[in-house]
Amino acid sequence: MRVAFDVIGSGDKAVAIVEAKEGASPKEIAKQIMEKHSNVKSVLEKVSGRQGKFRTYKLKLIAGDKNTEVLHKEHGMVFKLDPAKVYFSPRESQERQRIANLVKPNEQVLVMFSGAGPFAIAIAKAQPSAEITAVDANRTAIKYADENRKLNRAWNVKNTCADAKRFSPKTKFDRIIMPLPESAWKFLLQAIKLAKKGAIIHLYAIGSDAKKLKDVDDKIPKDLKIVSREKVLPFAPRKWKIRIDLQKA
């Protein structure tokens, strides 16, 4: 069976999310996954790309329990979430740690499109003196983010339910994380408004090569200097999720 799938959840309950190929039987795929991974209690199939106001995948239950809420553990943290309602990628675990380890003491950090809180909590645990503001328009995501803040005792995280374009905090930030590769660039002008002079902005985008992102580069305002680019993860055939590190002049 050559089908891409992610397993979200730890311990005795997990959910598998599959990308079934044309011609493959979803039921047979689910059966094989559940036989191989005894803790997988539900199998969901992606039936669309990320879409809608909250940029979540449309998922269809093809086998198992209708209750798809899980506890997912990584790097000593635990995240409660329902992958059918909130976007979460276990593949981005190392990237979250990489960014968390860049944060300096006492930084003011903003995480846009924060979901159930994995970036914010990773930063909070790596740098306890930092103050992290996490923003997402999805009320369900913020509900889980608040629970995860308590589960991980990440008291230096503040979660806010708001549209990132309309978010208007009293403070400005030393670092801004924009982990929505399909359209984060549309929020760059707002990020500039919220960034201190010299602030670092981690913008995620989709491209075929980290060095050749002319379509994204052309959309980056002159107020921002490109510091570096790095491939993060494969996104689709011949496409990558790429991080562009920017600095406000």
Do 123 and 240 have their domain in common?
yes
List beta partners, residue 233.
Answer: 241
**How far apart, in whole angstroms, are the C-alpha atoms of residue 71 and residue 148?**
10
pLDDT at 15: 97
Quick check: is 80 in a domain? no
Where residue 40 sits, what CATH number does that domain have?
3.30.300.110
Over its length of 249 residues, how does the chain's per-residue pLDDT go in tens digits? Answer: 567 789 999 999 999 999 866 667 888 889 999 999 999 999 999 876 665 555 667 889 999 999 999 999 999 999 999 999 999 999 999 999 999 999 999 999 999 999 999 999 999 999 999 999 999 999 999 999 999 999 999 999 999 999 999 999 999 999 999 999 988 999 999 999 999 999 999 999 988 765 656 667 777 888 899 999 898 998 877 888 999 999 998
Q: Is 189 exposed, middle or buried (0-12, 13-18, 19+ CB in 10 A)?
A: exposed
List beta partners, residue 60.
Answer: 45
**How far apart, in whole angstroms, are the C-alpha atoms of residue 83 and residue 68?**
7
Quick check: is 79 in a domain? no
10 Å Cβ neighbour count for 223?
15
Do 127 and 226 have their domain in common?
yes
Quick check: is 240 in a domain? yes
pLDDT at 171: 93
Do 52 and 128 have their domain in common?
no
C-alpha gyration radius of the chain: 18
List beta partners, residue 245.
Answer: 202, 228
- Maximum distance among all alpha carbons in the chain? 55
pLDDT at 40: 97
- Judge contact between 207 and 240, C-beta under 8 A: yes
- Judge contact between 138 and 86, C-beta under 8 A: yes
Question: Side chain identity at 5, as an amino acid letter?
Answer: F
Do 147 and 181 have their domain in common?
yes
Where residue 141 sits, what CATH number does that domain have?
3.40.50.150
- Judge contact between 29 and 18, C-beta under 8 A: yes
- Judge contact between 116 and 145, C-beta under 8 A: yes
Do 134 and 222 have their domain in common?
yes
pLDDT at 239: 83
Do 206 and 104 have their domain in common?
yes
CA trace torsion 161, 165, 170, 174 (10° rounding):
100
**How far apart, in whole angstroms, are the C-alpha atoms of residue 200 and residue 102?**
10
Do 54 and 98 have their domain in common?
no
Its domain, for residue 197, covers: 92-248
pLDDT at 236: 76
**How far apart, in whole angstroms, are the C-alpha atoms of residue 115 and residue 56?**
10
Quick check: is 87 in a domain? no
Do 60 and 97 have their domain in common?
no
**In the chain, how many domains are there?**
2
